[in-house]
Structure formats: C-alpha cells, structure tokens
C-alpha cells in the first residue's frame, strides 16, 4: 500500500513538472491497426467497409515508443480498429512501453473476445488474458458499451452474447487487480433502439430522453460489474454537411477508401485521419441538441459518482455547453498538435489529432514536439481524449502563467466545478485502473 502510494506521487510529480515549463504532460495515441471485426454503424472502420486495412509493425511501434519515452510523453494509448485482434503482439508492445517507463499506458477493446463465453475454455482463457495483462504496467483497459439495452448493444456491434461474456470476465479481471472501464460513445440508442428521435422535436423531451438514457446506462454498467466509466462525446458532422458526408460514404467507403486514407470530413473543412466518426444520424447532433445532451449528462453524473468512477469532468461538459451556446471563449483550447498527438495505422505518420488529417507531421521519432512551430488554439471537435485533459490540466497551466487573467476570464461556476472535479479525481486515485477505487 505504502509502495503504491509512493509510486503514485512520483508519477504525479513527473506529470506536473511540464506544467512549470509551460507544457501539459504529453499524450500520444497510436492507432495500432484499423482492422476491425465489428459492425458499429457509427464507425467507418466497421468490417463491412471495403478498403485496404493496415497494422503498424512491431518495430515501428517500438521506435515510436522509444521516441515517446525520450520526449517524456506521459500517456500512451493503443487504439484501433480492434487492437485485441493482435493480442500477443499488443501485450508485447504494452510490456515494451512499461519497460520504457511510460507512466500511463492504455488500450481498449470492442469486447469480441468475450462473446465466446459459452466455450468450455472461456474462463480459463480470461484468466490467462488477465494474468498476461497484469504482468505489464497497463494502467487502463476500456471495453466499449453502446447501450443500456444488451440486445441493442450486441446488434450495433454485431457481437451476440458479448454482454454476458463481459459480466463473467469482469470479476476475473478484478482478481488480477485490473479494473476495466466501460466506454460509452454517445449515440441515440443509449437507452435502447429507437428511443430517441432522429431529430430534436421538443427541447425538454430531448433532454429528458437523454437524461433517462444516461441514468439507465450507468445503472446497467454498475449491475454488470464495472467500477469505472468513460464517455466519448459524439463526433458529429453538422446538419448542412451531413448529406454530403453520406454521399461520400456511399461513394468511397467513407472514412477509409480514398487514395490517401484520409477521411473526408465536411465538419472541419479538413480531413479526418481517424475513422471512428460518421455522418450517421445515430451520432450526429446539431449544436442545439449537443447542448441538451451535455446538460443531461452533466445532470446525471453526480448521481452516480459515488457508485462508479466516472472519468468525465463536469467542467468539460460545462465548457462544451457554453461553447455550443455561443460563449466559446470559456473553454480552454485543445492541446492537440501542441502536447497531444496521434499516429495513424496506415502510414505511421503523426498528426495533431485524429481529426486534423491535412496536417501530416511525419514520423513521431523524427519530431521534436517542443520545437513545433504551429500552435493552433483549436476547438474544432469534441474528441474527449484531447478535450477533457486540455480543459482540466490547461486550467493549471493558465493558473501558472497568468492567475489574474484566469480569475477574470472564468466564471465562479467554472472554478467551482474545476475544484469539485479535482477533489473527485483525487479520491478516485486519478482513475487508476489497477485499483478497486
């Protein structure tokens, strides 16, 4: 216990050191592969999309990890596609990142391995998986859950039986002190298929439907045995561009099939390089709808925060609500391309994030991230992986740089929520997925 506590404080002093130098602790998301075996309608990497799939080689990823360790990147995520399709190599890479002392190593799965729970060897296989992961310093493992209704989730993913399999697997993971997080991507099916209308009719009804859906969702994952949860904000394409996006989708296997693997994205007037987005109405929301969705989530989270550790910071939701209500100055700009980066599976190139695909920064191991010239203040999307820490840690950075300006620019409600989140995060051991709480 004492040793763990000591280790944590060393980790956090490491993480806080860059702030004193005007930086946020670095984060790198490696899209290890875009191969996937699921059918998610909200994603352009689903297995039915026809395009040439890729996976980064072990050697390439090791070079990236070497460079990340050298540049003192604090958080490293392996994403997909479905990274667990290459499980043995993935575990080796996690082990390598552990050896290189990257403090926050994360990965996730769509859960396909858990849909085989009827097999005789299932329990043995999950023990074996948990044991292998437990030997690494993997800090967080997420498992995607799209809906409070098991059938809806399984149909969306194309993974029959997966919910029961996860329920069986969770206590086994816990035995090895691995506490996976349920990862919800906000969509209109959270409360079950067809429960939330395709277009907002009445603002109050829409808010109420989402509030009920979020409540059902948290209740559902707690009953499943999860002890942690995260929410991915919707990557919407604006209404006026959705039609264009849909036609691109039909014409070029949206999100992947173009010559250069860039995902055409009418939302930013640029190109996505990460295909986990879609023009589908299931995940597309107007700004007015987003305000209601974020309000519903913000009003739901406090009710469940003591029962399950919830990553989503209230201050981030508060800022997004204000941004989509027209007060954009209130949210802190995203650190994508400044302290946070994304490497794609096809070419192994670096981008400011998965959504600014026109800004190819080349190989990560040839970059000196400190010396990058362009430092754009960006709020172009709601990718929570980058927006949430930018908001939270960005506030600390502003506090060090110019505390007077910060106090003047932020509302008292913003400051109250920021403090409340910090206390909560501290009580949750900053979401250490190797601790029960």
On whether the CB atoms of residues 356 and 269 are closer than 8 A, the answer is no
- For ligand SF4, which is the closer residue by CB, 102 or 276? 276
We find the least distance from the C-beta atom of residue 339 to ligand SF4, in angstroms, to be 11
| 3-state SS, residue 354 | coil
Q: How far apart are CA 165 and CA 122, in angstroms?
A: 9
- For ligand SF4, which is the closer residue by CB, 45 or 184? 45
Q: How many CB atoms lie within 10 A of CB 326?
A: 8
Pairing status of strand 270-272 against strand 340-343: unpaired
From the CA atom positions of the chain, what is the Rg in Å? 20
Half-sphere exposure of 275 (CA within 13 A, CB side): 35
What tokens were used for 256?
A: 């992947």
Report the residue number whose CB is nearest to ligand SF4: 336
We find the least distance from the C-beta atom of residue 81 to ligand SF4, in angstroms, to be 5
Enumerate long-range contacts of 215-220, CB under 8 Å, 24 or more apart. 215/300, 215/303, 216/148, 216/190, 216/191, 217/145, 217/147, 217/148, 217/184, 217/190, 217/191, 218/300, 218/303, 218/304, 218/307, 218/308, 218/310, 219/148, 219/304, 220/145, 220/148
We find the least distance from the C-beta atom of residue 340 to ligand SF4, in angstroms, to be 7
Q: How many CB atoms lie within 10 A of CB 70?
A: 11
- For ligand SF4, which is the closer residue by CB, 46 or 55? 46
- For ligand SF4, which is the closer residue by CB, 111 or 209? 111
Q: How far apart are CA 129 and CA 145, in angstroms?
A: 20
Instruction: Calculate the dihedral angle through the C-alpha atoms of 296, 300, 301, 305, rounding to the nearest 10 degrees.
Output: 180
Q: Is the peptide bond before 81 cis (omega within 30 degrees of 0)?
A: yes
On whether the CB atoms of residues 333 and 377 are closer than 8 A, the answer is yes
We find the least distance from the C-beta atom of residue 44 to ligand SF4, in angstroms, to be 8
We find the least distance from the C-beta atom of residue 380 to ligand SF4, in angstroms, to be 4
- For ligand SF4, which is the closer residue by CB, 36 or 293? 36
We find the least distance from the C-beta atom of residue 406 to ligand SF4, in angstroms, to be 20
We find the least distance from the C-beta atom of residue 316 to ligand SF4, in angstroms, to be 12
- For ligand SF4, which is the closer residue by CB, 156 or 308? 156
User: Could you identify the residue written with the tokens 């980790």?
Assistant: 11
We find the least distance from the C-beta atom of residue 101 to ligand SF4, in angstroms, to be 26
- For ligand SF4, which is the closer residue by CB, 110 or 271? 110
- For ligand SF4, which is the closer residue by CB, 43 or 166? 43
- For ligand SF4, which is the closer residue by CB, 216 or 387? 387
- For ligand SF4, which is the closer residue by CB, 146 or 209? 146
Q: How far apart are CA 238 and CA 199, in angstroms?
A: 13
We find the least distance from the C-beta atom of residue 223 to ligand SF4, in angstroms, to be 23
Q: Given the rule CB under 6 A, which residues bind ligand SF4?
A: 36, 38, 40, 43, 45-46, 80-82, 110, 276, 334, 336-337, 352-353, 355-356, 378-381, 383, 386-387
Pairing status of strand 138-144 against strand 263-265: unpaired
We find the least distance from the C-beta atom of residue 210 to ligand SF4, in angstroms, to be 20
Q: How far apart are CA 82 and CA 130, in angstroms?
A: 18
143 CB contacts (<8 Å, ≥6 apart)? 108, 109, 110, 111, 114, 166, 180, 181, 182, 183
């Amino acid at each position: 216990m004492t040793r763990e506590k000591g280790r944590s404080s060393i980790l956090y002093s490491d993480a806080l050191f860059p702030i004193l130098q005007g930086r946020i602790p670095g984060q790198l998301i490696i899209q290890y592969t875009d191969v996937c075996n699921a059918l998610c309608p909200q994603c352009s990497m689903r297995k039915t999309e026809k395009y040439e799939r890729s996976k980064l080689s072990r050697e390439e990823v090791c070079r990236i990890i070497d460079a990340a360790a050298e540049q003192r990147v604090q958080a490293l995520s392996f994403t997909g596609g479905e990274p667990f399709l290459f499980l043995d190599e993935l575990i080796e890479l996690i082990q390598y990142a552990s050896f290189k002392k990257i403090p926050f190593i994360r990965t996730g799965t769509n859960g396909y391995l858990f849909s085989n729970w009827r097999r005789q060897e299932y329990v043995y296989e999950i023990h074996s998986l948990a044991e292998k992961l437990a030997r690494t310093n993997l800090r967080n493992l997420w498992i995607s859950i799209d809906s409070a209704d098991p059938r809806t989730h399984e149909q969306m993913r194309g993974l029959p039986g997966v919910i029961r399999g996860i329920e069986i697997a969770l206590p086994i993971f816990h035995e090895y002190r691995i506490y996976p997080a349920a990862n919800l991507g906000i969509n209109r099916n959270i409360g079950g298929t067809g429960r939330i209308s395709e277009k907002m009719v009445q603002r109050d009804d829409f808010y109420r439907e989402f509030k009920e859906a979020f409540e059902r969702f948290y209740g559902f994952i707690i009953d499943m045995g999860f002890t942690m949860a995260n929410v991915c904000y919707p990557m919407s394409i604006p209404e006026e561009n959705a039609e264009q996006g849909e036609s691109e989708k039909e014409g070029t296997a949206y999100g992947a099939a173009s010559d250069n693997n860039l995902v055409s994205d009418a939302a930013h007037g640029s190109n996505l390089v990460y295909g986990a987005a879609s023009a589908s109405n299931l995940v597309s929301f107007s700004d007015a709808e987003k305000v209601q969705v974020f309000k519903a989530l913000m009003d739901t989270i406090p009710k469940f925060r003591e029962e399950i550790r919830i990553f989503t910071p209230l201050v981030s939701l508060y800022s997004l609500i204000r941004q989509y209500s027209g007060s954009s100055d209130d949210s802190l700009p995203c650190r994508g391309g400044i302290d946070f980066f994304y490497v794609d599976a096809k070419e192994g190139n670096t981008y400011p994030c998965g959504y600014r695909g026109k800004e190819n920064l080349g190989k990560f191991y040839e970059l000196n991230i400190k010396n990058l010239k362009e430092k754009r203040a960006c709020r172009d999307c709601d990718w929570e992986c980058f927006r949430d820490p930018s908001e939270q840690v960005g506030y600390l950075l502003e506090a060090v740089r110019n505390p007077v300006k910060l106090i003047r620019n932020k509302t008292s409600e913003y400051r109250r929520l920021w403090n409340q989140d910090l206390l909560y995060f501290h009580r949750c051991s900053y979401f250490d997925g190797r601790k029960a709480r």
